[in-house]
Structures are given as C-alpha cells and as structure tokens.
Amino acid sequence: MWLLIQDQILKMKWLNVLVERLLRLLGVNPATRIGGSIQFFIYDVFKITILLCVLIFLISLIQSFFPPERSRKILGNFHGLFANIIGALLGTVTPFCSCSSIPIFIGFTNAGLSLGVTFSFLISSPMVDLGSLVLLMSIFGLKIAVVYVVLGLVIAVVGGTIIEKMHMEDQIEDFIRNANSTVNIDTPDLTFKERLTYAKDQVVFTFKKVFPYILIGVAIGAFIHNWIPEAWVESILGRNNPFGVVLATIVGVPMYADIFGTIPIVEALLSKGALLGSILSFMMAVTTLSLPSLIMLKKAIKIKLFSLFIFICVVGIIVVGYLFNIFQNILI
C-alpha cells in the first residue's frame, strides 16, 4: 500500500506513462534526447505543479491557525532550548522560501522574542517546511525525507542555541530594537470557510510567484537528464570528488529558488550519478541562503551576527551533506 502511494500518488508514475503515450501518438520518440527532454519537461512541470497546489492549500490551511501574532504568543511562553525547538518546529508551517521568512523574523525580533528562537525559526522555515517533506518523499522515499527534515531541524536548533549563548542582541539594527514592540497578539477566530478562502488565495499567490522558477528548474533538469554525460556529473559531484558537498553548497548559496524549483535539478543530478549528500547540500543552500534573502537579512542585523548566521548554516549544510554521502547505501 505504501509503495502504491509513493509511486502513483507522490511520484505520479501514471502521469509519466501518460505523457510518454501522448508523445508517441504525436510522433515524438521519448527514447531520443530531444524526445526524452520533452517528456521530462512536461511530466515534471505537471507533477510539481499538482504537488505545489495541493501542498500549499493544505499547509496554508494549517498556517491559518498559526498567524505571526499567534506564533509570537506561543513562542513567548517558552524559554531556553525548548523555545528554540518550538521555534524550529513553527518554521515548518510557514512560507516556502527564505525571502518570505525574513519579514516574519523581523516581526518576531521586534516583538521581543529571544535571538535564539527567532534564528531557529529563520533557519528551519525555508529549509524543512512540510512541503519539502512531501516533495522529497516523491523523489527519494520516506526514509530520506524524514532524515533530511530531522537533520534540518537539528541545524536550526543548534544554530539558534549558539546565537543565543553568544548574547548578540546588540547586533540587531537600531531601527528594529527601538521599534514599538507592543504588538496585539490576539487574532480573531476564522470560520472554516474563511480558512478555505485564505488557503485558496495562498495557492494563487504562491503559484504566480513560484511557477516561473519551476519552469526554469525543470528546463535545467531536463537538460542535465538528457544532455549532460554521466561522467561529468560523477567527476564533480560523485564519489571521485571528496569536495563535492562543499562545491555544491558554494554553488547553491547565490542562487534564488525554492524547493519546487530545485527538485527537478536534484532529481536529474541523482540520476546522473551525483551523490545524495552533495545534491541535498545544494538544495539546502539554495533554499536557505539565497542571495535576495541575505540582502534583506543584512538590513535587519549587523555584520558580526550576519556572518555568524551564514557560517552556522554553511557548516551545518556541509556536515549534513557528508552524513548523507556516508550513509547513502543504507538510506537508498
């Protein structure tokens, strides 16, 4: 039953078969490079779009119970390591990309929450949201997806704890520290119909924002899958390059995309012989440390804290990548 769910619902193998049959009816041979690229592009665009809309709707429905004001109230009731854990867990039900997380992070900081909690939230929000769990299950299976999310949460909690212990409150920009923090944390209860409307609006808004990156990501994935020789990928991200994880992380940092745009690239690289940890490090770096989000974050914090945040994320991502590479044979 689980294999049926994974293959036909998450991976949508039925859709791939349908696309292949339609292409053959149109006189396109999927066995050729061009035909294979077309099949990969159509199949992945439709698969990721369907998953995108379903996931955003369901997660937005959950989000309607945890708006920023209510999240601030919840986080304000906890302290110490447990507060960082709650902050990281709350990050899993918030927006899909790092740029969307920055304004919420600033709001939490403005409301007087500890730096450890806010940074645990900031790290986990784009890295290990519920969407990443389902999407990774559709590519790699349940075991890898769960381990990825758990390790991502560990990075978030450890990173937040380190920042908390270093007492870097003076590294928050003055305009945020001096802002009025008397925030109304009471939120009106929504009816179920209003929550459904909110979830639907979030689907439309996010789809418009994300879909161009899906097209770009799938196009890159189709090119890698059908045109890049396996030997090239293996030499850069395979077992013969012990620095593949580091390289993948460095390449991923300046890029801007979310998990929906990176999944087809990761899928294609894996099929070409790239190691699991290397491509997951690439995905983590892209979703967590995108250049636009770093520019936004730099406006809110000073250089010392900014550099520490990047260092913690990069080191954590590299460690996770090497762990996945070491235990790849067990996980796959």
Q: Give pLDDT tens digits along the chain (332 positions).
A: 767 777 788 788 899 999 999 999 999 999 999 999 999 999 999 998 898 888 888 878 877 876 666 667 777 777 778 888 888 888 777 655 555 666 677 777 776 778 888 889 888 887 887 777 787 888 888 889 899 999 999 999 999 999 989 988 888 877 666 654 444 444 557 788 888 998 899 888 878 888 888 898 889 889 988 888 888 888 888 888 899 999 999 888 767 666 777 888 888 898 888 999 999 999 888 888 877 778 778 888 889 999 999 999 999 999 999 999 999 888 87
d(Cα 57, Cα 306) in Å, to the nearest integer? 33
DSSP code for 93: G
Residues in Cβ contact with 49 at an 8 Å cutoff, skipping those fewer than 6 apart: 207, 211, 214
Q: What pLDDT does residue 157 have?
A: 94
pLDDT tens-place string over residues 268-302: 898 888 999 999 999 888 888 877 778 778 888 88
Cβ 76 vs Cβ 144: under 8 Å: no
Report pTM.
Answer: 0.78
Residue keyed to tokens 């979310």: 258
| CA 213 to each of CA 62, 254, 286: distance values in angstroms, whole numbers, following the listed order | 25, 15, 12
In this structure, the dihedral spanned by the alpha carbons of residues 105, 95, 164 and 73, taken in order and rounded to 10 degrees, is: 70
Residue (of 178, 199, 180, 181) closest to 190 by Cα position: 199
pLDDT tens-place string over residues 118-156: 889 888 887 887 777 787 888 888 889 899 999 999 999
CA atoms within 13 A on the CB side of 288: 35
Structure tokens at 168: 């870097």
* Secondary structure of 7-53 as H, E, C letters: HHHHCCHHHHHHHHHHHHHCCCCCCCHHHHHHHHHHHHHHHHHHHHH
| CA 36 to each of CA 12, 18, 226, 329: distance values in angstroms, whole numbers, following the listed order | 17, 14, 7, 28
